[in-house]
Amino acid sequence: MRFASGISDAVNASEAADAVCGQVLEQLGGEPCDLACVFASTIYRASWPSLLARLHERLRPRVLIGCSGSGIIGGGQELEWVPAVSLVAASLPGVKLFPFAVAPDELELSSAGGFWIDKIGASPAAHPVFILAVDPYTCNPVKLIDELNATYRARPIVGGLVSGGNEPGEHLLFTGTTVLREGAVGVAMAGNIVMDTVISQGCRPIGRPAVVTKADEHAVVELGGKSALAALHHVLSGLPPEDRELAQQGSVFVGLVIDEMRPAFAPGDFLIRNIVGIDPDLGAIAVADQVAVGQTLQFQLRDPATSRRELRRLLLRAHPSHGLPPAGGLLFTCTGRGRSLYGLAHQDVRMIQTVSGKLPIGGLFCNGEIGPIGETNFLHGYTASLGLFRPA
């Protein structure tokens, strides 16, 4: 197994494509390109049909998938809102590849099980791992992820929602030499491949866990029999001054416990969701997810130092105690990270390369990130979702 990566910020799209192909071909050292993952700035939108043909001509990949994004990641760089192309290529002996594209009308009629096995062509018994890119304007990502979870139980997916466009049709999805403007594209990989995942949500719990005692779909009305809004004010009033300042900047989130059977909860045990509104009359908090009575909830605070520490800790934990180190990686990180979180560029990707070595890596900034917590894949926000690939 050999991975290679290239990145270019050339203003001319043809020059950028040739540059990344040259970098990748040199690193592959004559090995065949089985998989090519391409991530491109939306600035190049009009040029991609011909450029995909050019990438195929030079690389001759067995499978090519990719998408556009507002920010592009490659090597040790995160290039936000500038022209950029990133390419990750891999020679994957002993690995079967199952590329697929999903149209919006297909997803409306789909269901878990046989539909997806026929669509993708990979049996659940083959234990595949997945890369997935979804257009958020035309495709329901939660339905798609839920049905893949049910069909391929406990199999990891990394990916994200395409970014950079302001309306339907402005995002691009790549599959082979075809450019799509709706739906989703992905690839399942089975055989001599393992994908270790790192899902860094960048939050730390504040206050104490509480059980939801009254809820209405997205609204948390009561926590522990008391007003949810009053519970939030109580937690915020007990914070030290520096944390209260963070909270005033909009850095407070809700953490929904994933495994209620745990005796205690720590960072990584929660599914982080935005607080999208409050109702002072009802004392309710609106959350960007369905909330049910009986769920355990704990408020969370997000800050750059926590994000750095958590990513480092998870990377160290992801290192296999035996077997080969990762050969390459794909990073899908939120548009709310990067400079807007850290105040500096390249922080997440450089942390990955500091801890995991200078492995070939590429990816993009997303409107939502896909990755597993435990054995279930979720759609996340403000998260770095990383797949690290190595031979089985």
In this structure, the answer to whether residues 212 and 319 fall within a common structural domain is no
Residues 6 or more apart whose CB falls under 8 angstroms from that of 282 comprise 219, 221
Counting the structural domains of the chain, the total is: 2
CATH of the domain at 287: 2.40.30
Mean predicted lDDT score pLDDT of the chain: 94
In this structure, the answer to whether residues 77 and 180 fall within a common structural domain is yes
Per-residue pLDDT reduced to its tens digit, 281-324? 999 999 999 999 999 999 999 999 999 999 999 999 887 666 67
Position 50 scores a pLDDT of 81
Indicate the residue among 286, 301, 316 that finishes a domain: 301
Per-residue pLDDT reduced to its tens digit, 329-340? 999 999 999 999
In this structure, the answer to whether residues 146 and 222 fall within a common structural domain is no
Q: What is the mean pLDDT of residues 365-377?
A: 95
Residue 29 CB burial class (10 angstroms; 0-12, 13-18, ≥19):
exposed
Per-residue pLDDT reduced to its tens digit, 65-124? 999 999 999 989 999 999 999 999 999 999 999 999 999 999 999 999 999 999 999 999
Residue 161 CB burial class (10 angstroms; 0-12, 13-18, ≥19):
buried
Q: Percent of the chain beyond pLDDT 70?
A: 99
pLDDT > 90? residue 280: yes
In this structure, the answer to whether residues 85 and 137 fall within a common structural domain is yes
In this structure, the answer to whether residues 12 and 98 fall within a common structural domain is yes
Check if the beta carbon of residue 90 is closer than 8 Å to that of residue 328.
yes
Best CA proximity match to 198, nearest among 21, 371, 355: 371
Per-residue DSSP letters for 78-132? Answer: EEESS--EEEEEEE-TTEEEEEEEE-HHHHHH--TTHHHHHHH---GGG--EEEE
In this structure, the answer to whether residues 41 and 171 fall within a common structural domain is yes
In this structure, the answer to whether residues 127 and 166 fall within a common structural domain is yes
In this structure, the answer to whether residues 287 and 336 fall within a common structural domain is no
Residue that is written with structure tokens 């939050």 in the block = 203
In this structure, the answer to whether residues 185 and 242 fall within a common structural domain is no
Best CA proximity match to 104, nearest among 132, 136, 66: 136
Indicate the residue among 276, 301, 326 that finishes a domain: 301
Strands 296-302 and 203-205: antiparallel
In this structure, the answer to whether residues 80 and 182 fall within a common structural domain is yes
Indicate the residue among 301, 319, 340 that finishes a domain: 301
In this structure, the answer to whether residues 210 and 158 fall within a common structural domain is no
Position 13 scores a pLDDT of 85
Q: pLDDT class for 327, splitting at 50, 70, 90?
A: very high
Q: What is the three-class DSSP state of 331?
A: strand
What is the rounded CA–CA span in Å between residue 72 and residue 50? Answer: 20
Residue 274 parent element (H or E): strand 270-279
Domain that holds residue 134: 2-200+307-390
In this structure, the answer to whether residues 95 and 179 fall within a common structural domain is yes
